Amino acid sequence: MTITFVGPRVLSDPSEDIFGLASSVYHKSTLLPVTTLSGWYRRNPEIFWLVRDKERLIAYLSMLPISEDAFRFTLEPSFDEHLLTADTIEPYTAEGNYRGFISSIVVHPDYRGGRVSRPLRTFFLNTLINWWANRRRIIGLSAEALNDHGAAMMSSLGLHVNLRSEHGSLLMVNNCSESSLTQCRDGLLGRMHSV
């Protein structure tokens, strides 16, 4: 098994691969069309953290830097991710404050149980910590957890439940700082030995 972690500066659009993996785990009603993923990627190509076993995509995490209005929408009971159009995504400039929406985290069923998801989450947090050092600051994160397992994933990234949406999902949020991100990263590293 040759596992590599890629991103978020991926060299070509991975939307087809992401759609393929997402289709195997998500219910049709929550699945985002490949055209949506591709539109997001064209707007800002630094939104995907990928894990490949050789060439095959086995896991990914996606995080969209979005406008303040869109961020507020992600925390409203009527939130529907399908309405996050590409123009709600902020392109990154060299420096600035951003609010991010964690759109999805998926690990292929053959690779579950921490050996991929913990390193992937650690990889993601390390990127955000490095960005802070380079003045690209993610000052808030939100996410929609569709189940308890998803909520556990988001908790490990420092998010807590804000409210339950009209569709029954949990809308989660946190305010980030370099030190809170580092604390979460170190928490995951501390649990890595038990994988």
Ligand X SMILES: CC(C)(COP(=O)(O)OP(=O)(O)OC[C@H]1O[C@@H](n2cnc3c(N)ncnc32)[C@H](O)[C@@H]1OP(=O)(O)O)[C@@H](O)C(=O)NCCC(=O)NCCS
Q: Which residues bind to ligand X, rule: CB under 6 A? A: 25, 105-107, 112-114, 116-118, 145-150, 152-153, 156, 191
Cβ closest to ligand X, residue 129 vs residue 189: 189
Q: How far is the CB of 117 from ligand X (least distance, A)?
A: 4
> What sign results for the dihedral spanned by CA atoms 76, 121, 64, 141?
positive
Cβ closest to ligand X, residue 39 vs residue 114: 114
Nearest residue relative to ligand X (C-beta): 150
Cβ closest to ligand X, residue 5 vs residue 92: 5
Q: How far is the CB of 76 from ligand X (least distance, A)?
A: 18
Interior/surface letters 75-88, b for 16+ CB within 10 angstroms, e for the rest: beeebebeebeeeb
Q: How far is the CB of 40 from ligand X (least distance, A)?
A: 17
Two structure tokens written together for 19: 């759609």
Q: How close are the terminal C-alpha atoms of the chain, in Å? A: 16
Cβ closest to ligand X, residue 137 vs residue 150: 150
> What sign results for the dihedral spanned by CA atoms 33, 167, 162, 172?
negative
